[in-house]
């Protein structure tokens, strides 16, 4: 079902464009005086955000002046804002007949048609409005409605293309981010359904099932699916890593040593198949740190940062190892690199403060601690994301760390 939304900013802007001075006529009649009064009341109500009053004034004005396109266009914009889409469409089409060149009416007609569920009719106007760079707000509203229209018409690839363009044009707009995210999620679901229909027993379908079960924390089902993949292709890259992540997640819930041991075996098995899998080496190194085997952890982490010098989480982990090995100077080097790569990582700043204190640099310690406090206060832990790419376990603040 189509979700309703209303382009309030667009409607207000359109109303502003459409309200033009009334034709100059000597105010020799009561009708002329009434028209001026209603026009003034309507524009003042719009400016103050009193849309009901503005609608009432322009409805009266339209009855007195049925041949003025701007009046009908303004009324259409107000009714669109009030979600009276049938009336908005009627008024906009009437205004267009009276003055075909009136700006933005095509876009308003397309938006109204889309809100009424008449998606096929709305497409030409929405497509034109989305391609028009002359006004960013009109373009944005047309793009948002165009995604919905394409989706409801089953043109999912066109919806995705529109979403990509919207993200490019409005990269920081919350509504755009939310709406395009839903489009991407819907498209991913459709593709997975197509995979299931075409080849339900394929290795790709089994891998998708494993990942879906992993995301749902159905660990037994995920383990079964991934092991089935390995039966079909024992050397398939990435599968032992996924199994290791599952056992590691289960260990965090259960604290059963067998789950921890299984995770370590799977990460090691992944490295046998793919020695360049930095994520597997990183996870295995983290577990070695927790077990107190700093030498093994250092060897693994050094290999990771040598292959992937921008692997920020690995740099922070290596800084921890250096600190625990009392090699504070090396820790400073690693952690400075990490904070340059990700200035919003509070763990990196805190460990850098510890390393600066250890090397006898109080000013460096003060600066790092100030950054830690700033980042830790502004960015909640729940919003901090691990290294880009395939997800890995993020570094955590050391026990006893204080903002």
Number of domains observed in the structure of the chain: 2
Q: Same domain for 334 and 258?
A: yes
The answer to whether residues 243 and 127 belong to one domain is: no
Task: Give the per-residue pLDDT at 298.
Answer: 95
pLDDT for res 387: 37
Q: Which of 343, 358, 388 is the last residue before a domain boundary?
A: 343
Is the CB of residue 372 less than 8 Å from the CB of residue 349? Answer: yes
The pLDDT confidence band at residue 379, using thresholds 50, 70 and 90, is low
Range of the domain at 294: 199-343
Question: Do 112 and 225 sit in the same domain of this protein?
Answer: no
348 within a domain of the structure (yes/no): no
Give mean pLDDT, residues 351-365: 95
Tell me which of 138, 167, 194 is where a domain ends: 194
Residue at a domain's end among 194, 223, 258: 194
Same domain, 186 and 207: no
Residue 391 within any structural domain of the chain: no
| Weakest-pLDDT range from 125-129, 159-163, 204-208, 354-358 | 204-208
Is 229 within the bounds of a domain? yes
The reported pLDDT for the residue numbered 384 is: 41
Please name the residues in contact with 92: beta carbons below 8 A apart, sequence gap of 6 or more.
72, 73, 76, 105, 108, 109, 112
- 3-class DSSP assignment, residue 154: coil
* CATH number of domain containing 170: 1.25.40.10
Residue 2 lies in a domain: no
Instruction: Report whether pLDDT(312) > 70.
Output: yes
Q: Is residue 371 part of a domain?
A: no
How many angstroms separate the CA atoms of 311 and 68, rounded? 65
Shared-domain flag, residues 43 and 186: yes
Is the model more confident about 131 or about 383? 131
Write down the pLDDT at residue 335: 95
106 plus 41 within the same structural domain: yes
Q: At residue 127, does pLDDT exceed 90?
A: yes
The reported pLDDT for the residue numbered 220 is: 93
Do 37 and 144 belong together in one domain? Answer: yes
**pLDDT-based confidence at residue 382 (cuts at 50, 70, 90):** very low
Is residue 58 located within the same domain as residue 183? yes
DSSP for 233-291 reads -TT-TTHHHHHHHHHHHHHHHH--HHHHHHHHHHHHHHHHH-TT-HHHHHHHHHHHHHT
Residue 32 belongs to a domain: yes
Record the tokens describing residue 267, joined without a space. Answer: 């990460």
**Residue 46: what pLDDT?**
82
Model confidence over 62-80: pLDDT tens digits?
A: 888 888 888 898 899 899 9
Mean pLDDT for 353-369 is 94
Residue-wise pLDDT for 131-168, tens only, equals 999 888 889 999 999 999 999 898 989 999 999 999 99
Q: State the alpha helices, DSSP H only, in 153-256.
A: 156-169, 174-198, 203-215, 219-232, 239-254
Residues 15 and 71 in one domain: yes
State the pLDDT at residue 401: 61
pLDDT tens per residue, range 1-35: 444 444 434 444 444 444 444 443 444 455 578 88
Instruction: Output Rg (C-alpha) for the chain, integer angstroms.
Output: 31
One domain for residues 190 and 213: no
Q: pLDDT digit string (tens) for 205-235?
A: 888 888 888 888 899 999 999 999 999 999 9
Residue 332 or 44, more confident: 332
Q: Please check whether residue 358 lies inside any domain of the structure.
A: no
Please provide the average confidence, as pLDDT, over all residues in the chain.
85
Contact 278, 308 (CB under 8 A): yes
Judge if 205 and 177 occupy the same domain. Answer: no
Identify whether residues 87 and 230 lie together within a single domain. no
| Residue 382 counted as domain residue | no
**Distance (Å, rounded) from C-alpha 399 to C-alpha 198?**
51
Read off the pTM.
0.58
Q: Calculate the CA 271 to chain-centre distance.
A: 33
């Amino acid at each position: 079902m189509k979700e309703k939304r209303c382009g309030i900013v667009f409607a207000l802007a359109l109303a502003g464009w459409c309200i033009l001075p009334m034709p100059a006529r000597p105010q020799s009649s009561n009708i002329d005086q009434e028209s001026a009064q209603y026009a003034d009341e309507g524009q003042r109500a719009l400016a103050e955000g009193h849309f009901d009053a503005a609608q009432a004034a322009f409805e009266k004005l339209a009855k007195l002046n049925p041949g003025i396109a701007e009046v009908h266009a303004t009324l259409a914009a107000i009714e669109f804002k009030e979600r009276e889409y049938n009336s908005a469409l009627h008024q906009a089409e009437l205004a267009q007949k009276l003055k075909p060149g009136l700006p933005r009416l095509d876009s308003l007609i397309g938006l109204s048609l889309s809100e009424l569920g008449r998606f096929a009719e709305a497409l030409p106007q929405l497509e034109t409005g989305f391609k028009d760079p002359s006004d960013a707000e009109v373009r944005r509203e047309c793009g948002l409605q165009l995604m919905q229209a394409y989706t409801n018409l089953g043109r999912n690839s066109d919806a995705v293309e529109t979403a990509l363009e919207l993200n490019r044009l409005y990269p920081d707009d919350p509504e755009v981010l939310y709406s395009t995210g839903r489009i991407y999620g819907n498209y991913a679901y459709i593709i997975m359904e197509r995979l299931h229909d075409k080849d339900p027993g394929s290795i790709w379908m089994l891998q998708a099932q494993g990942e879906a079960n992993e995301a749902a924390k159905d660990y037994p089902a995920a383990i079964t699916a991934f092991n089935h993949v390995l039966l079909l292709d024992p050397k398939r890259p990435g599968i032992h890593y996924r199994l290791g992540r599952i056992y590691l997640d289960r260990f965090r819930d259960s604290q059963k040593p067998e789950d921890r041991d299984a995770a370590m075996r799977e990460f090691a098995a992944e490295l046998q198949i793919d020695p360049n899998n930095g994520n597997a080496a990183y996870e295995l190194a983290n577990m070695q740190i927790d077990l107190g085997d700093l030498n093994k952890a250092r060897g693994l982490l050094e290999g990771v940062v040598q292959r992937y010098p921008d692997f920020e989480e690995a740099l922070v982990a290596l800084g921890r190892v250096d600190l625990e090995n009392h090699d504070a100077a090396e820790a400073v080097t690693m952690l400075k690199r990490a904070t340059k790569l990700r200035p919003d990582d509070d763990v990196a700043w805190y460990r850098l403060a510890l390393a600066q204190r250890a090397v006898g640099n109080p000013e460096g310690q003060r600066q790092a601690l100030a950054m830690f406090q700033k980042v830790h206060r502004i960015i909640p832990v729940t919003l901090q994301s691990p290294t880009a790419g395939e997800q890995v376990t993020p570094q955590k603040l050391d026990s006893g760390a204080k903002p």
